[in-house]
Every structure is written in C-alpha cells, then in structure tokens.
Structure 1
Amino acid sequence: MRVETTRLAGLLRLVPTPHRDERGFFTRTFDDATAREAGIDPAAFVQDSQSRSHQGVVRGMHGRVGSGEAKLVRAAHGAVLDVVVDARPGSPTFGQAESVVLDDDTFVSLYIPRGFLHGHQTLTPTADVCYRIDAEHDPTEDVAVHHLDPDLAIAWPAEITTVSARDRAAGSWAQLTGRLSAS
C-alpha cells in the first residue's frame, strides 16, 4: 500500500495493491504501519459506518465544527465521486475542493482530516461506502452546505436523482464561512 498526497494539505489517498487471479481478488484495505508512517493514528478510530446509495444519489456536503472528526473513506462496492472541501480557516487551501473516484476496482481509500466538508455521488447502480471515523458523533457539531452551492461549484458528473431533505435544506458556503470566522 502506498500513500499519495493531494493538493489539499492533509488529504491523503491510500492506494493498495490488489492481487487478482482466476478466483477474483484479495486486497488490503487498511494497514497499521502505512497509516502510522503517513501520520495517521490507527488507534484513534472509534467507529466504522457504511452507507448504501443508488445511482445519482448525492450525500453531502457534511462536516463538523468544534472538535470535528477525521475519517477514512472507501467504496466497498460500486463507485462514487467523493468530494471534499477544505473548511479550515487559515489553511492555504481553504474553500478549495478535491474530487476522487472511489471504487471497488482500485480500492483507494481517502483520509479526510478534521475540518473538511465531505460528500459523494453514486456513479454505479448501487454503491456501498465505508467510513472509519475517529470521533463519536456529536449532532451539535453537524454542519452542511448545499451540494449545489455556487461558491463551491462542485461538478457532479451525473444527473442528481435523490438528495435527503436535510441536504436540500442545507445552508450556503457563505453562511458557514461566516460561522467559522466568528468562532
């Protein structure tokens, strides 16, 4: 497994080496030593979660204020366009987005540090996304920015078929940055 940096400080791609043969494949989806070498504390993760979505579904853009959370995200089945936005005031990449395809062919995982917004769109008939999270959920820290916010200008690659009521009612990037600067 190798670790690749991205243009957003702290956002890492963990790229395994799948072994394929006539039976199918075997791949390591997490490696303690590789994580430690990349500055990730494997013991910090306290929760594993999974979502299943249908083609065109957009989940996000979600984040946490306060102490926040870091997460390791991968697609166990299908494919998604995973999108993150740096929401860390003072970061040189504040307000910038990065998109990465996560799928069940390459098995790439994305390490998302605290202070980022996160979302994804399902690109295949169904997709299962697995999350390894380093903090207990605190609903008082939840924030969301509308997935079509013009300031973020996220280029979703397919027709958006379904979005939750919460995500349809999400605030704007301008509102969130105002809240972050007031903190």
Structure 2
Amino acid sequence: MKVVPTPIPDVLIVEPKVLGDSRGFFFESFNLKTFSHATGLDVNFVQDNHSRSVKGVLRGLHYQIRQPQGKLVRVVRGAVFDVSVDIRKSSPSFGRWVGVELTEDNYRQVWVPPGFAHGFYVLSDSADFLYKTTDYYVPDFERILAWNDPEVAIAWPIDHDEQPVISAKDKQGAGLANAELFA
C-alpha cells in the first residue's frame, strides 16, 4: 500500500498494491494492520455503504455535525471526481478543498477525515461508489454544504453547457458562511 499526500495533509490518497495478470487482478481493498501502519491512523470502521449513480450526478457535500464520520471511499465501477472540504474552523486548511479522480482502473481510495464535508461528481456513464465509515449514519445530524458555494469555489469538472443532477436535499445545502461547522 502506498499513501499519497494531498495539499490538505489530513486527506490521504491510498493506493493498494494490485496484483494482475492475463486472468485479471487481486488486491486487498482494506487491511486494518496495513492501513494503520501506512497512514498512522487508528480507525474503526462500523458501516459500509454502496451507491450507484448515473453520469452527471453530483452528491454532496455531506457531513454529520455530531457523530462525525471518517470515510474511506473508492470506486469499483466507473469514474468520479471526489471532493473533501475542510470545515473545521480551527484548521489551517479551513474552507479549502481537495479533488481526486477515482476510477475502477486506478484503484485509488481517499481517506476523508471527520470534520470534512464530502461529495462526488460522476464522470462515467454510471459509477458504483463504496465507502466505509467510522461512525453510524444519523439523519438528524446530517448537514449539507452547498456544492457550488463561491467561497469554497470547487473546480468541478462540469462542462459549461451541462447542469449536474442534484437531489432536492442537496440543493438545500448551506454556504460556508452560514453552515453549521466544526470548532
């Protein structure tokens, strides 16, 4: 396993060792001992989630204000542009974002720490997105940061003539200035 730093030190790209030949491939998608050793993180994942979305869907930017979740995310089919936004007011990277392309072919995973809003935009015809979380989903604690907040200014790879497909819930996301944030 290789860990690649990002411009926000707490967000990590994890590249598993992939063994492949003419028959196909094999890799460990998660091994606690290997992950902890490579990242220095002591995590306990309690829930696995799987979503499928069609091209042009933008999900997020989601977080839980109480019982915040760390997430280890990856794509098993298709491609997405994955985004993590630091919403910890005391952080030196507060309000900054990191974007990583995750595909079925690059096998990359992203560690999204608690205290970050997270979302993704589907680049392929469809995408299957898997993520492990360090705490359980609690609808009452869920918050949404506006995907298009000009203060955060995420450079989503969306063609100017296209509109992303966004849920009614995600359209209600708050801008950074009005969002409920972490200390």
Same fold (TM over 0.5): yes
For the residues of structure 2 that align with 1:163 and 1:153, how far apart are their CA atoms?
17
Point out the more displaced range, 139-148 or 54-63. 139-148
TM-score after normalising by structure 2? 0.92
- Deviation string 1:81-132 (CA, Å, 9 cap, x unpaired) is 0001001111110100000011111111111110000000001001001010
Question: Paired residue for 2:181?
Answer: 180
For the residues of structure 1 that align with 2:149 and 2:10, how far apart are their CA atoms?
24
List structure 1 runs of 4+ shifted beyond 4 angstroms.
Answer: none
Question: Paired residue for 1:109?
Answer: 109
| Amino acid of the structure 2 residue aligned with 1:61 | L
Question: Paired residue for 1:28?
Answer: 28
Structure 1 segments unaligned to the other structure (5+ residues): none
| Amino acid of the structure 1 residue aligned with 2:80 | V
Question: Paired residue for 1:7?
Answer: 7
Q: Across the two proteins, how many residue pairs are aligned to each other?
A: 179
Structure 2 segments unaligned to the other structure (5+ residues): none
Question: Paired residue for 2:168?
Answer: 165
| Amino acid of the structure 2 residue aligned with 1:40 | L
For the residues of structure 2 that align with 1:180 and 1:59, how far apart are their CA atoms?
19
TM-score after normalising by structure 1? 0.92
Give, in angstroms, the shift of residue 6 of structure 1. 1.5
Question: Paired residue for 1:46?
Answer: 46
The share of aligned pairs that are identical, in percent, is: 38
Query: RMSD over aligned Cα, in angstroms?
Result: 1.5
Tell me if structure 1 keeps the 8 A contact 2:83–2:99: yes
| Amino acid of the structure 2 residue aligned with 1:23 | R
Give, in angstroms, the shift of residue 71 of structure 1. 0.8
Which structure is higher in helix share? 1
Tell me if structure 2 keeps the 8 A contact 1:2–1:34: no
